[in-house]
Amino acid sequence: MDDSTARFLRFIRDPDSKSARTFEGFVLLLVLYSLLIYSLETLPGLSQQLRSFLSLSESVVGSLFVLEYSLRVTCSRRPLRYIFSFYGVIDLFAVLPLVLGIGTNGTIIRTLRIFRIFRILKLSRYSKSVERFIKAVTVAREDLVIFSLASVLLVFMSSVGIYHFEHNAQPDKFPSILHCMWWSVVTLTTVGYGDAFPITVGGKLFTSLVLACGVGIVAIPAGLLASALTKVREDEQE
Amino acid sequence: MDDSTARFLRFIRDPDSKSARTFEGFVLLLVLYSLLIYSLETLPGLSQQLRSFLSLSESVVGSLFVLEYSLRVTCSRRPLRYIFSFYGVIDLFAVLPLVLGIGTNGTIIRTLRIFRIFRILKLSRYSKSVERFIKAVTVAREDLVIFSLASVLLVFMSSVGIYHFEHNAQPDKFPSILHCMWWSVVTLTTVGYGDAFPITVGGKLFTSLVLACGVGIVAIPAGLLASALTKVREDEQE
Amino acid sequence: MDDSTARFLRFIRDPDSKSARTFEGFVLLLVLYSLLIYSLETLPGLSQQLRSFLSLSESVVGSLFVLEYSLRVTCSRRPLRYIFSFYGVIDLFAVLPLVLGIGTNGTIIRTLRIFRIFRILKLSRYSKSVERFIKAVTVAREDLVIFSLASVLLVFMSSVGIYHFEHNAQPDKFPSILHCMWWSVVTLTTVGYGDAFPITVGGKLFTSLVLACGVGIVAIPAGLLASALTKVREDEQE
Amino acid sequence: MDDSTARFLRFIRDPDSKSARTFEGFVLLLVLYSLLIYSLETLPGLSQQLRSFLSLSESVVGSLFVLEYSLRVTCSRRPLRYIFSFYGVIDLFAVLPLVLGIGTNGTIIRTLRIFRIFRILKLSRYSKSVERFIKAVTVAREDLVIFSLASVLLVFMSSVGIYHFEHNAQPDKFPSILHCMWWSVVTLTTVGYGDAFPITVGGKLFTSLVLACGVGIVAIPAGLLASALTKVREDEQE
């Protein structure tokens, strides 16, 4: 194997080499462009001309993805291992509609290409960050489970409660406990669209009570993860 | 007592044994199924057929709960202690409507079954997490009380303030201080349904001021608990 | 001074004694009752009977506050010092409308009684917590100032921005930069009432950008205070 | 150079001296006044008289800014270095419309004056706080990148998802994936204006799922920064 081939192959095998970074950067741009095309195609009232251009662009990008996939399979030291790896499967999904000849218009599979962005995590410094995240989740595992469980319970309990307070007053907004769960989720995450809210005194008191404990319970897991991540980083530095 | 009986009894007595876990898992599924039935029954426009099926399901699940409760009482080393324990009372509520022959349609008592999910906390690793949570609350007790107190004060003060700014402009949305408290809770928790909001310049300035300090005060308790929990976990590891 | 007088006087002088606690608890209940009366009086459509009862209640509570204030002044070791202390001034406001004979209907001064609830902070364990809070604010002072400053800048900048994007499209919702500030505050605190929101593409992109950095900036001060409080508590324990 | 000139020059050169503080405080007030004028000018229905007054005020403030800029350039030890420094460019923008004779009515350049408020950061204690902030961002760099990336992915994925669930039911609210991104941003930051929300069962379930993970992911970066800042401050004190 001569030197230029060796250098060429390195970008497949060593994600931290300079040429690999350039290549991955180019692939990343293609992925973003491909997702932009997908988004633009859904715009209503596009001119026929623009529509053809988007379709052509998608074909070109798709072909480049097929080329890239072939390259990765043929150049890899262990092709099968690559094909069945996490990134390999993702890469496959990126080319599947084109390869199978389904055509690509409106195929939701194309959106799976977004996962290709995670390739960035193969860079060593980000893979360390991911490890740190996994460690933080492991450390705070039980607490996270407890608070998630408490959140689910809270959502159910507040759904049952609001159903009993508001069902008679607003049967169209709170028709059943399952519908009330939507209200619970929207309220406890403090999104509060305003599509459904209590109007009875009992319902308002109940909601105030639920919010008093609930907002905290739903916000704690994020705080726990942030603290755990900071702790793991500190431990590494020592 | 022969060996098979001993093994059978263990699941009542040792929540960490393998057979107990299987049994508890089955009970957990039954509880979830029972809650699903409860939720589904409130759906409007159910066919008579589905309604009968749900009613039958509830009877079967209820009978299984009665059977389970009898088992737990008879197999327990100290039946009375179990009956009056936290979990015993919860288990009793799960079977009460059926035992008393009230029937179960629409009985809110059935929703108390959700507390049976907390049985999961008897597993040693979660009971440690609960202990940790109690310790964290104990450590941050005074701070939590102060900030809860400040939150209550803030809700009251902003209700009085917004009443004076908005009552004349929107007498239907801010009819009294008690009604304004609902607005305060919805605003300070940042839910913001949009059912009531200030329209006068004074009211908007006042709300901005209240939000500037208020959002922080309401968010701090969750942060305090998350920090305290992380600290308690660290101390344990050392 | 005989023994019973001494015991009687102690509750004025030593806020941690048992008799003082009982007395303060009673005063606290009176304060809450007085605030409840104030809130109830604003309810529309009250019967004449209830209105008379509330008015009478207020007179009784007011008289008790006058009595209490006289007691505190006469029993205090240094009456003048008490009168001009923080709590003394608050206590004075609680009785002012009655003493001056202004009558109490609709007087906003009555709501100042809520500050009497802070008497609870005189209990030694809460006064420690308050000290801790002051220390935490002192430690994080500069950071809090920077982030508050950044929040104010962000509110102004996003008001100017949204004005230029949305003024022409929605002149009634975004009539001037000052009106846009209300939108900025409601958006950056994530309250989102829904009374004003961008509808142009530029306005939506700008809002997304502002939210991407803004939500973090507004949320950080609360996190800083929570972390600083936890740190101060840790230092105390060591 | 006599003593009074030296003292006079010091405020340009040493931002922590007393005279410099007074001067900077005066400039700060002018900046705020200038921004107030800018905001007021956009108010609809101003009287001709007030409009003339605001215009005159702006001219006076502008002239003072020109005077101040000349002073800073002539008194600075190295004029060119000042002119091309961050603060020098900002100061230039503050006088540009006047110097170029464009007039100042409605010129958005005037709003850039707000950056002059950052001069406050030249005070040593705030510049330390800024350094601390930069250090905290550096320490948590990779984690911040990962979570920002995850947030962007989440916004895109939930836009694609909600498009497929809601497009047919509400083609006017969710006309394309690009429009859905606005919904994603408003929902995941928990602003929740209520201008667009899912109404299909699938869309509601999908939104609940997205919120369950999403709210945490969006909230974590703020928590990470708060923790990192506290840690950096601790390290400094040791």
What mean pLDDT is reported for chain A? 84
CA distance B10 to B6: 6
pTM attached to this predicted model: 0.89
Does residue D128 lie within any of the structural domains? no
Assess contact for B106 and B190: CB atoms under 8 A: no
Residues of C in contact with A223 (CB under 8 A): 223, 226
Q: Where residue B79 falls among pLDDT bands split at 50, 70, 90?
A: confident
Phi, psi of A155 (to 5 degrees): -60, -45
Amino acid in the structure at residue C85: S
Amino acid at C41: E
Residue pLDDT, tens place only, B135-144: 999 988 888 8
Inside any domain, residue B128: no
Q: Shortest CA distance to A231 belongs to which of D237, C237, D234, C238?
A: D234
Size of interface B-C (CB pairs under 8 A): 109
- The residue type of B163 is Y
Beta carbons of D121 and C177 less than 8 Å apart: no
For residue C212, the chain D residues in CB contact (below 8 A) are 151, 185
In a domain, C127, yes or no: no
Euclidean distance between CA atoms A182 and D12, whole angstroms:
60
| C95 belongs to a structural domain | yes
Residue pair B58/B37 in contact (Cβ under 8 Å)? The answer is yes
* pLDDT tens column, C46-105: 899 998 998 888 888 888 888 888 888 888 778 888 888 888 888 887 787 777 766 555
A108-158 pLDDT, tens digit per residue, is 677 777 777 777 777 777 888 888 899 999 988 888 888 888 888 899 989
Query: Which one, of A174, A157, A167, lies nearest residue A209 by Cα?
Result: A157
CA–CA separation, A56 vs C69, rounded Å? 85
Mean pLDDT of D152-157: 89
3-state secondary structure D121-165: HHCHHHHHHHHHHHHHHHHCHHHHHHHHHHHHHHHHHHHHHHHHH
ipTM over 0.90: no
- How confident is residue B184, by pLDDT bands cut at 50, 70 and 90? very high
Domain closes at, from B69, B96, B122: B122
Q: Is C29 exposed, middle or buried (0-12, 13-18, 19+ CB in 10 A)?
A: exposed
The whole-number average pLDDT for the span B15-28 is: 78
- CA of B79, closest CA in chain A: separation in Å? 29
Question: B28: pLDDT confidence band, cut at 50, 70 and 90?
Answer: confident
CATH of the domain at A210: 1.10.287.70
- Residues A39-79 have pLDDT tens digits of 888 888 889 999 899 888 888 888 888 888 888 888 877 88
Provide the pLDDT for residue A18.
75
Same domain, yes or no, for B98 and B157? no
Which residue of chain C comes nearest to D42, CA vs CA? Answer: C176
Chain C interface disruption, residue of B153, B165, B176, most C CBs within 10 A = B176
Whether residue D171 is predicted with pLDDT greater than 80 in this model: the reply is: yes
Using 50, 70 and 90 to split pLDDT, how confident is the model at B199? Answer: very high
Compute the nearest-CA separation of C198 from chain D (Å).
10
Q: Report percent pLDDT > 90 for chain C.
A: 27
Distance CA A109, CA C212 (A): 28
To the nearest whole Å, the CA of D190 is away from the closest chain C CA by 6
Of A218-222, B172-176, C46-50, D208-212, the one with minimum mean pLDDT is A218-222
**Å between D173 CA and nearest CA of chain A:** 12
The reply to whether residue B143 touches residue C133, judged by beta carbons under 8 angstroms, is: yes
Q: How confident is the model at residue B180, as a pLDDT? A: 94
Cβ–Cβ gap B181/A208 under 8 Å: yes
**pLDDT surpasses 90 at A209:** yes
User: Does B187 reach chain C within 8 Å, measured CB to CB?
Assistant: yes
Kindly report the nearest CA distance between residue A223 and chain C, in angstroms: 9
* Chain D: residue whose CA lies nearest to A110: D160
Per-residue pLDDT averaged across C196-204, rounded? 94
A196 found inside a domain: yes
Contacts of A226 (CB under 8 A, 6+ apart): B226, C223, D220, D223, D224, D226, D227
Q: Does B143 touch chain C (CB under 8 A)?
A: yes
**B223 inside domain:** yes
Asked if the Cβ–Cβ distance from A223 to D223 is below 8 Å, we say: yes
User: What count of CB pairs under 8 Å joins A to D?
Assistant: 108
Domain's final residue, options D58, D90, D122: D122
Neighbouring subunits of B (3+ Cβ pairs under 8 A): A, C, D
Name the residue range of residue C190's domain: 136-232
Supply the pLDDT for residue D176: 92
| CA of C6 vs chain B CAs: smallest distance (Å) | 31
Q: Write out pLDDT tens, residues B111-168.
A: 777 777 777 777 777 888 888 899 999 988 888 888 888 888 899 989 999 999 999 9
Q: Do both B15 and B65 map to the same domain?
A: yes
Q: Are residues A9 and A112 in the same domain?
A: yes
Q: Which residues of D touch A126 (CB under 8 A)?
A: 142, 145-146
CA–CA distance from C133 to each of B160, C31, C217, C225, C230 (Å)? 26, 25, 21, 8, 10
The pLDDT-based confidence of A10 (bands split at 50, 70, 90) is: low
Among candidate residues D118, D128, D121, the one with its CA nearest the CA of residue D93: D118
| Alpha-carbon span D226 to D228, nearest angstrom | 6
Burial class (CB in 10 A: 0-12, 13-18, 19+), B110: buried
Q: Is B115 helix (H, G, I), strand (E, B) or coil?
A: helix
pLDDT level of residue A16 (50, 70, 90 thresholds): low
Tokens standing for residue C104: 């109490």
The backbone torsions φ and ψ at residue B14, rounded to the nearest 5 degrees and listed phi first, read: -120, 95
Q: String of b and e for D112-122 (b: at least 16 CB within 10 Å)? A: bbbbbbbbbbe
CA distance A78 to chain D (A): 29
Does C216 lie at the interface with A, CB-CB under 8 angstroms?
no
D12 and D64 within one domain = yes
The better pLDDT of the pair B182, C213 is held by: B182
Domain check: are A101 and A161 in the same one?
no
Q: Would you say A99 and A73 are in contact if contact means Cβ atoms under 8 Å apart? A: no
**Closest-CA residue in chain D for A46?**
D176
Helix %, strand %, coil % of chain A (to 5): 80, 0, 20
CA distance C32 to A101: 74
Residue D146 has pLDDT above 60, yes or no: yes
* H, E, C per residue of chain C: CCHHHHHHHHHHHCCCCHHHHHHHHHHHHHHHHHHHHHHHHCCCCCCHHHHHHHHHHHHHHHHHHHHHHHHHHHHCCCHHHHHCCHHHHHHHHHHHHHHCCCCCCCCHHHHHHHHHHHHHHHCHHHHHHHHHHHHHHHHCHHHHHHHHHHHHHHHHHHHHHHHHHHCCCCCCCCCCHHHHHHHHHHHHCCCCCCCCCCCCHHHHHHHHHHHHHHHHHHHHHHHHHHHHHHHHHHHHHC
Instruction: In whole angstroms, give the CA distance from residue C31 to residue C37.
Output: 10
Q: Measure the CA–CA gap between C122 and C220, rounded to whole angstroms.
A: 30
- Tell me whether residues D185 and C220 touch, CB distance under 8 A: no
Residue C65 sits in a domain of what CATH number?
Answer: 1.20.120.350
**Are residues B146 and C125, on separate chains, in Cβ contact within 8 Å?**
no
| Chain D residues with beta carbon closer than 8 angstroms to that of A193 | 192-194, 197
Answer whether A34's CB lies under 8 Å from A109's CB. Answer: no
Q: Cβ of A51: how many Cβ atoms within 10 Å?
A: 14
Q: What is the pLDDT of residue C107?
A: 65
State the pLDDT confidence band at C167, using cuts at 50, 70 and 90: very high
- Give the pLDDT confidence of C117-148 residue by residue, as tens digits: 777 777 777 888 888 899 999 988 888 888 88
Measured between alpha carbons, how far is C167 from C174 in angstroms, rounded to an integer? 5
- CA dist C118 and B164 (Å) reads 23
pLDDT band at D166 (very low <50, low <70, confident <90, very high): very high
A122 in contact with chain D, both atoms CB, cutoff 8 A: no
**Distance, CA of A205 to CA of C92 (rounded, Å):** 33
Predicted local distance difference test score (pLDDT) of residue B26: 87
B164/B208 same-domain check: yes
Taking the Cβ of residue D33 and every Cβ of chain C, the question of whether any pair is shorter than 8 Å is answered with: no
Structure tokens at C127: 């006064």
Identify which of B130, B121, B148 has the alpha carbon closest to the alpha carbon of residue B221. Answer: B148
Number of C/D CB contacts below 8 angstroms equals 110
Q: D208 in contact with A at a CB cutoff of 8 Å?
A: yes
Q: Residue B85 corresponds to which tokens in the numbers above?
A: 């324990």
CA–CA separation, B96 and C132 (whole Å): 49
Whether residue B189 and residue A204 make contact (CB cut-off 8 A), yes or no, is: no
Res B172 pLDDT > 90: yes
C92 and C146, same domain (yes or no): no
Residue A139 CA to its chain's centroid (Å): 23
Residue B106 confidence (pLDDT) above 70: no
> Where among A61, A93, A120 does a domain terminate?
A120
Is residue B127, in this structure, part of any structural domain at all? Answer: no
Interchain CB contact of B160 with C (< 8 Å): yes
DSSP string, D216-232: HHHHHHHHHHHHHHHHH
C122–D contact, CB cutoff 8 A: no
| Mean pLDDT score of chain D | 84
Residue spans of beta strands (DSSP E) within chain A: none
Can you tell me the distance from the alpha carbon of D42 to that of C176, in angstroms, rounded to the nearest whole number?
Answer: 5
Task: Please state at what angle helix D201-237 crosses helix A201-237, rounded to 10 degrees.
Answer: 50
CB contact under 8 A, A142 and B133: no
Identify the pLDDT of residue A53.
92
Q: Please report how many Cα atoms fall inside a 13 Å half-sphere around the Cα of residue B159, on the Cβ side.
A: 26
* In a shared domain, residues A89 and A8: yes
Instruction: Verify whether the Cβ–Cβ distance C226 to B224 is below 8 Å.
Output: yes
Alpha-carbon distance of B196 to A67, in angstroms, equals 58
CA B71/CA B67 separation, integer angstroms? 6
Residue D192 has pLDDT above 80, yes or no: yes
User: How confident is the model over D16-41, as pLDDT tens digits?
Assistant: 677 777 888 888 888 889 888 888 88
Q: Which residues of B fall within a CB distance of 8 Å from D190?
A: 190
Amino acid symbol at D165:
F
Query: Looking at beta carbons, which residues of chain D come within 8 Å of C158?
Result: none
Q: Which residue has the tokens 């410099």?
A: D20
Which chain B residue has the Cα nearest residue C106? B164
Which of C156, C163, C220 has its CB closest to that of D114? C156
Number of domain units in chain B: 2
Q: Say which residue the tokens 């003394």 belong to.
A: C88
DSSP for B73-88, please give it: HHHSSSHHHHHTSHHH
Chain C positions in Cβ-Cβ contact with residue B211 (cut-off 8 Å) = 185, 189, 191
Could you tell me if C83 and C183 lie in one domain?
A: no
Query: Which pLDDT belongs to residue D173?
Result: 93
Neighbours of A92 (CB within 10 A): 16
Is the domain of D160 the same as that of D100?
no
Q: Please indicate, yes or no, whether residues A34 and A98 belong to a single structural domain of this protein.
A: yes
- A131 located within any domain: no
Task: Give the closest of D190, D194, D223 to B190, CB-based.
Answer: D190
User: What's the confidence (pLDDT) of residue B163?
Assistant: 92
pLDDT higher at A200 or D82: A200
The chain-wide mean pLDDT, for chain C, equals: 84
Distance in angstroms (rounded) separating the CA atoms of residues A218 and A154:
9
Angle between helices B18-41 and B48-75 (to 10 degrees): 150
pLDDT given for residue B86 in this prediction: 81
**Is the pLDDT higher at D85 or at B98?**
D85
Looking at residue B172, what DSSP letter applies? T
Tell me if D113 sits within 8 A of D35, measured CB to CB.
yes
CB contact under 8 A, C189 and B215: yes
Whether residues D141 and D206 fall in one domain: yes
Q: Which residue from A44, C226, A6 is spatially nearest to D226, judged by alpha carbons? A: C226
